[in-house]
Amino acid sequence: MTRLMLTRLQVLCACLLISGCLCAQVPREPRTDSAWTRDYPPFRIAGNLYYVGTYDLGCYLLVTNRGNILINTGLAGSADMIRRHITSLGFKFSDTRILLITHAHFDHVGALAEIKKETGATLMVDSADAPLLETGGASDYEMGKYGVSFAPVRPDRLLHDHDTVRLGDTRLVMLHHPGHTPGSCSYLFTVKDAHRRYRVLIANMPTIITDRRFSDISAYPNIAQDYAYTLRSLRSLHFDIWLASHASQFQLQEKHHPGDAYRPMAFSDQKGFLDELDDLQKAYDEKIQQGTTH
């Protein structure tokens, strides 16, 4: 074989390898739910905080005097809907300066790479979820069995527990709340209107997504301790308004109907928050018991 032929063969093999890698990166969402794709009219929650998500996937817009912050992006096909929602509220999609997430699962970060590319926004995430984002979810201890479930994206800034995110006149504190994923997180911040200030919690509720015993999950050896920590931490928080990654977790449709007047305190619901935590604690205790009876 001549040197020229060898060189051409090497180039061909390299191209095939690259092509194979790209094909392997095609995202495939494991499943969808009609409530995840169903449109829901955007509205003002409190002060400079707006809901721009779907019927069940919570996406939030914080409007500041230096641009806007978008928290969560829903499924891969949600970019156009979020853009439309933001525009209908009277804001510019291109003014999105910071992207945040509550955790790196396909139903919350599916459109993240597309929106980041279009807006040039800075992506900030809990450091423990960075590997999940960079592998498109393929490295997830549970969801990884489906392979790449969303377009991989590289974060610009890694956050740690109680780090602060600032943009203009708005300041958020990120709370590390692992378990659901290693880098699940919540956000605490204050918004205000003409009448008062509101301390807002966007909570990542620690639902359990695996049927396996915690002790059998070698890819996440501290999962049981992380869930226990998150349940304690959430219960200790103080807030005026609480929201979550899924609208169903804070009963959005019971508290707000399309066209309703502005009513921030509809989302206070301290009892609902504690009831939700009680249910999650029960599920956790049952999972722990499962591990001691086998």
- Residue 273 belongs to a domain with what CATH number? 3.60.15.10
Phi and psi (nearest 5°) for 230? -65, -40
| Element (DSSP H or E) covering residue 86 | helix 79-88
The total number of structural domains that make up the chain: 1
Q: Is pLDDT at 198 greater than 70 in this prediction? A: yes
Evaluate whether residue 4 is within a structural domain.
no
Q: What is the pLDDT of residues 44-86, one digit of tens each?
A: 999 999 999 999 999 999 999 999 999 999 999 999 999 999 9
Evaluate whether residue 8 is within a structural domain.
no
Evaluate whether residue 224 is within a structural domain.
yes
pTM above 0.85, yes or no: yes
- C-alpha–C-alpha distance, residues 267 and 255, integer Å: 7
Evaluate whether residue 220 is within a structural domain.
yes
Helices (H) and strands (E) in the chain — how many of each? Answer: 9, 12
Q: What is the pLDDT of residues 160-180, one digit of tens each?
A: 999 999 999 999 999 999 999
Evaluate whether residue 5 is within a structural domain.
no
Q: What is the pLDDT of residues 245-263, one digit of tens each?
A: 999 999 999 999 999 999 9
